[in-house]
Amino acid sequence: MQNDILVEIEDAVFGYGARPVLKGINLTAKRGQVVAIMGSSGCGKTTLLRLIGGQIKAGQGTVRVAGESLGELDRAGLYRVRRKMGMLFQFGALFTDMSVFDNVAFQLREHTDLPENVIRDLVLMKLHAVGLRGAAHLMPAELSGGMARRVALARAIALEPSLVMYDEPFAGLDPISLGVTGNLIRRLTDTLGLTSLVVTHDVQESLKIVDYVYFVSEGVIVAEGTAAEIRASGLPYVHQFVHGESDGPVPFHYPAPPYVDDLRLGVRSA
Amino acid sequence: MLKQAIENLGNHTIQGVWRIGFASRFFLSMLLHSGTAFRRFGLTIREMYFTGVLSLIIILVSGLFVGMVLGLQGYETLQRYGSESALGTLVALSLVRELGPVLAGLLFASRAGSAITAEIGLMKATEQLSAMEMMAVDPIARVVAPRFWAGVISMPLLAALFSAMGVLGGYLVGVKLIGVDEGTFWSQMQGAVDFEQDILNGVIKSVVFGIAVTTIALFEGYDAPPTAEGVSGATTRTVVTSSLVVLALDFILTAFMFRGLN
């Protein structure tokens, strides 16, 4: 059903200057799904997320969110669509001059005329959902990395968006925070009826919670499927990625001249 | 070698023109999105605290010392011609016409300007500005414009306080320490300082310096590469560029304002 699809990308091409980053991406995310976008560092995952957020525009192809083609929208239209989106940045991107409470209340104060007592209740509910109601008075500098990520998540869902995007939500977290964050993404998606797009290279944690996975390599989708299909995949790239092998289709060595030539072994022996 | 030099020159020229264009667009966008800064004036007042109130100590102390030095040097020069009674005039005119706006502008650039650049630059580096964009809140309207108007409002007030403290410093040294007649000191000052020609022109200068310094500080922060080196470089550029612009603008404004005056 067409209405089930919240995010739809068709043949999207994007590059920074002359350097192509995305070379024809096709991707769909259905309502209520947790969709992971995986790939090695620098493969274009975050660029893809920025494309869906409308921060950059595709050179070719279309990006549709909630039925609206982002490339055709003006600034006001883009801001209208973004109110249906939440985004969790890699390190939270909390406003450092505001308390945890004010961070979560930010969008409510900017976009609604709700009285302060209602905002207070809503903020405490969002913070309770991520387990940090007791930290409402703290400043971002007083939070651990995992706590900052959870506050950012509470802030991202403050306006009850249809789509939440996560940029490397598991990066740099301890095993407990890792599990907590993964569970939160799944639980919030199910209870709030969201669609979650998770950009990550943490295979083991993300495969526990996702419905569908896209693998990106060198700007194209090289594999896709459910978590079970990905685990069982025989594709060399996916196999190397899932099992964390140091060599394979993604080589260990950065392209370089032959080792013997670089060390000038032939010259010395001559 | 020559080809490389020409290429570098062309590259720098293109970069320079591009930056001027971007800065002009940034300035216009800031003016166009100033509605929030006035509709929600609390945002601007909050920034006035950071740019204005927190600059008070350096402004007041510097003003006092500059006035005291003026009192000493002015007396030393004037008494050679038997004109020490004109000390009040010399101190007041030096401060309200020149030293008040210019020195307050330079101090404002190094205290508040550098802080603004570092703050905006770090907000960019830590993706706070991107987060705001993704929340459908325009960072120019919400973050930049209130800081701009706070700087424009604070600067003339700081310059006025600098001049007032300078006059006090000149009075303390000239009258209380050296012994210039108190009545002469104040009456000469009152008679010589013209509101329109001296005070108002000084206020105009300080408003122009406020616009220039705050715009440079905000632009450098907004345009800073999102790295530690990028932010530190932008902060340095703010202080250097602002100081030079204040001095250059001072010459231009003085040339226009005081031509034909004796």
Of B122, B123, B135, the CB nearest to A106: B135
Burial of A249 (0-12, 13-18, 19+ CB in 10 A): middle
What is the reported pLDDT for A269?
A: 54
Test the B interface: residue of A78, A103, A106, A157 with most B CBs within 10 Å:
A106
Chain B, window 132-161: residues with a beta carbon less than 8 angstroms from a chain A beta carbon: 133-138, 142
Sheet of A60-65: strand order equals: A19-30, A5-16, A60-65, A68-69
The Cα–Cα gap between A32 and A6 comes to 9
Query: Nearest 5°: CA angle at B184, between B183 and B188?
Result: 120
Calculated CA dihedral for residues B101, B237, A140, B37, nearest 10 degrees: 50
- Closest-CA residue in chain A for B138? A79
pLDDT of A268 higher than 70: no
The pLDDT tens digits of the residues spanning A26-43 come to 899 998 899 999 887 777
What is the reported pLDDT for B260?
A: 56
**Contact call for residues A69 and A62 (beta carbons, < 8 A):** yes
What is the reported pLDDT for A207?
A: 86
Of B122, B133, B136, the CB nearest to A111: B136
Q: Are B134 and A83 inside 8 Å of each other by CB?
A: no
Q: Are A110 and B135 inside 8 Å of each other by CB?
A: yes
Q: How confident is the model at residue B12 (pLDDT cuts 50, 70, 90)?
A: very high
What is the reported pLDDT for B123?
A: 94
Q: Are B136 and A95 inside 8 Å of each other by CB?
A: no
pLDDT of B144 higher than 80: yes
Calculated CA dihedral for residues B100, B106, B111, B115, nearest 10 degrees: 130
The pLDDT tens digits of the residues spanning A159-187 come to 889 999 998 888 877 888 888 888 888 98
Of A80, A93, A111, the CB nearest to B131: A93
What is the reported pLDDT for A59?
A: 85
What is the reported pLDDT for B82?
A: 85
User: What's the gap in Å between the CA of B27 and the closest CA on chain A?
Assistant: 19
Other residues' Cβ atoms within 10 Å of the Cβ of residue A77: 14
Residues of B with Cβ-Cβ distance to A94 under 8 angstroms: 128
The Cα–Cα gap between B171 and B108 comes to 25
Test the B interface: residue of A47, A78, A82, A199 with most B CBs within 10 Å:
A82
The percent of residues in chain A predicted with pLDDT above 90, rounded, is 26
Higher pLDDT, B236 or A252: B236
* CB neighbour list of residue A263: distance below 8 Å, 6 or more residues apart: none
Q: Are A55 and B134 inside 8 Å of each other by CB?
A: yes
Q: How confident is the model at residue A1 (pLDDT cuts 50, 70, 90)?
A: very low
The pLDDT tens digits of the residues spanning B170-188 come to 999 999 999 899 999 999 9
pTM (two decimals): 0.86
The Cα–Cα gap between B234 and B223 comes to 8
Q: Are A96 and B126 inside 8 Å of each other by CB?
A: yes
The pLDDT tens digits of the residues spanning A55-77 come to 888 888 899 998 888 888 888 89
The whole-angstrom distance between residue B205's C-alpha and the CA centroid of its chain comes to 9
What does pLDDT average to over chain A?
Answer: 86
Q: Are A94 and B133 inside 8 Å of each other by CB?
A: no
What is the reported pLDDT for B17?
A: 94
pLDDT of B262 higher than 70: no
Question: What are the residue boundaries of the structural domains of chain A, listed by start?
Answer: 2-251
CATH topology of domain A2-251: Rossmann fold (3.40.50)
The pLDDT tens digits of the residues spanning A214-244 come to 988 888 888 888 888 888 887 888 878 777 7
Q: Which tokens sit at A115? A: 């009285």
The pLDDT tens digits of the residues spanning B91-136 come to 999 999 999 999 999 999 999 999 999 999 999 999 999 999 999 9
Residues of B with Cβ-Cβ distance to A96 under 8 angstroms: 122-123, 126, 128
pLDDT of B59 higher than 70: yes
pLDDT of A131 higher than 80: yes
* CB neighbour list of residue A130: distance below 8 Å, 6 or more residues apart: A150, A151, A153, A154, A184
Other residues' Cβ atoms within 10 Å of the Cβ of residue B12: 10
Q: Are B135 and A91 inside 8 Å of each other by CB?
A: no
The Cα–Cα gap between B84 and B218 comes to 45
How many interface pairs between A and B have CB atoms less than 8 angstroms apart? Answer: 44
The CA-to-CA distance between both ends of chain A, in Å, stands at 72
- Asked if B7 is an interface residue toward chain A (Cβ–Cβ < 8 A), one would say no
pLDDT of B246 higher than 70: yes
Q: Which tokens sit at B226? A: 């999102």
Q: Which residues are paired to A29 by β-bridges?
A: A7
